[in-house]
Amino acid sequence: MVVRPAPEVLYDNLEKFFPNANLDQPVVDITPPASPMNDKQVKKDPSRIQKTVISSTSDEEGFGKLSKPHRVKTIRAVAREASEARKRESIRRTINQNTNLVRRQSTKMWGKKVVEVKPNQTQYLSKLRSQKGEIKQFSWIRGELIGKGTFGNVYLALNVTTGEMIAVKQVLAPERVSENAKVPEVIEALRSEVETLKDLDHLNIVQYLGFEKTEKEYNLFLEYVAGGSVASCLRLYGKFEEPLIRFLTLQVLKGLSYLHTKGILHRDMKADNILLDLDGVCKISDFGISKKSNDIYANDAAMSMQGTIFWMAPEVVDSREGYSAKVDIWSLGCVVLEMFAGRRPWSNLEAITAMFKIGKAKAAPPIPEDILPSVSMEGRNFLDSCFAIDASKRPTAQELCNDRFCEVEPNFSFSSTRLAQLIKTNEKKITV
C-alpha cells in the first residue's frame, strides 16, 4: 500500500482493509447502559444491538468476571462511533478556521495488557477499567499490510477498545536461534527503540503507542499516518516545488531539534523515513538504529558506522574519531536535495563509489545540473550549511529553523499544492 488512505476512508471500507476480521464480533463495554434500547432503535441500526451478557471468565484473564448484565457492541459499531467522533472534530476545526497544523493524539497503551482479537475468537472481550476509570486492557485487530522490512512488516490495525486506527510493526520471534542469526539482533534493536522513544511526544515525530510480546511475535504499536513517505511521494509524483520543500524542511527540523534536545541521534535520516500525512504534516519515523548520547553535539568515539550510505556524513564513513548529532544535519541536507531533484543524492553513483567520495574525498552530494536553475540562492546556502565538511561548523537543528530558507510564505497552503491534489486523486483510486 504505497498511499495510506485517510482514516475516514478506512472506516467507510472496513471489509476491504480488514478482510480477515469478524467485524460483527462483540466486545463488552463494562459500563451498564443508561437505559435499554427500544425496538425502534434496534430497527434503525441493527449493528448496534446491545445484548445482555454475564461473563464467567476470570478478571485476571482480562475478560472481567461480571455480576451484572452488560451491553455488547460489535467491532463495527466501535469503529463507526470513532469515525463519527472524527467527523465532529473536523467540523469544529472548520468552524474555528484553524489553519495551523494540528495533531490528533492517539491513545497510548504502555503498561497495559494488550490482546489481539483473532477471527475465530468467541469470547466477549472487555474494556476493563480501574476504579479511577483508566483502561487496563486494550484489544486490537490486524488489517492489511502497509509496509515491509527485512525482518518485520507493518500492518494497519484497529484499536478495538478506542476505535482508533493505528499501525503495528511485527517482528516474528524465531523458534530456534539458528533459524536466523540476525533476528535476535533485530529484536534487541526493537527493544532499544521502544525504551528510547516511548516517552517522546512531538507533532513531527511518529508517536509510539505500546509494545507487546507474544510467543510468536513482537508487536510495536504506532500512530497511523495517512499518506505515505516523502520518498514514495517523490517516486509517484516527481520532485517538489521549493515552497513545499521549505514548508516540509522546517517541520523536519523541528522534529530533529526535539530529538536532539532529548539526547537522541536518529542516524538514518532519509526521505523513506519521513512520513507525510494528508494534511501536510511531516513525521520522522523508523528509529531502529537511533542512539542516545549524553552530549548530543560532541563527538563520541564509540559510535559505529550506521545508516544508509548515500545519506551518510563523511565522519560516519570515516568514523575513527567518532561523530555527533551533526550527522543528522548532513542527512537532512541530503533529504532536501532529494526533494529538489526527485531522486536520491549521488544518484549517478553505486554505493561503493559514493562511499569513497564521502569518506575519502570528503565530498558533498552535488546539486544535479538539470535542477540547479530551479534552486534559489537561499536553498543553495542552506545546503552548503548542511554539507559543511567540518561537523563543528554545521548549524544545529534549532539554528537551522531560523534559516531564511525555512521562512514559509504566510499564505502557503499545503492543500493547494500540486502534491496534495495528486495524493487526493490517488487516494480515490484506492477505494474503487
Displacement of CA 101 from its chain's centroid (Å)? 16
Q: Return the C-alpha cell found at 128.
A: 476493563
Quick count: other Cβ atoms within 10 Å of Cβ 329? Answer: 26
Nearest to 109 by CA among 192, 167, 22: 167
- DSSP E strand boundaries for 243-377: 264-265, 274-276, 282-284, 291-292
Q: How far is CA 275 from CA 41, 93, 281, in A?
A: 42, 23, 8
Q: How far is CA 122 from CA 24, 32, 173, 270, in A?
A: 11, 21, 26, 44
Phi, psi (deg, nearest 5) at residue 105: -70, 135
Phi, psi (deg, nearest 5) at residue 362: 50, 50
Give bridge partners of residue 139 from the DSSP assignment: 115
Residues 186 and 232: their CA atoms lie apart, in Å, by: 24
- Going by the DSSP 8-state scheme, the letter that residue 177 receives in this structure is G
Residues 12 and 381: their CA atoms lie apart, in Å, by: 47
Residue 182 in marked binding region: no
Dihedral angle sign, alpha carbons of residues 267, 221, 252, 200: negative
Quick count: other Cβ atoms within 10 Å of Cβ 202? Answer: 17
Nearest to 167 by CA among 135, 143, 138: 143
Which of the residues 268, 272, 328, 403 is marked catalytic?
A: 268
Q: 37 by DSSP, 3-state: which?
A: coil
Residues 319 and 284: their CA atoms lie apart, in Å, by: 25
Nearest to 76 by CA among 3, 31, 12: 12
- Using CA atoms of 151, 157, 161, 162 in order, give the dihedral in degrees to the nearest 10: 120
Catalytic, 268? Answer: yes
Task: Please check whether residue 307 is in contact with residue 339, taking contact to mean a CB–CB distance below 8 angstroms.
Answer: no
Catalytic residues: 268
Sequence ranges of the binding site: 169
Sequence ranges of the binding site for ATP: 169
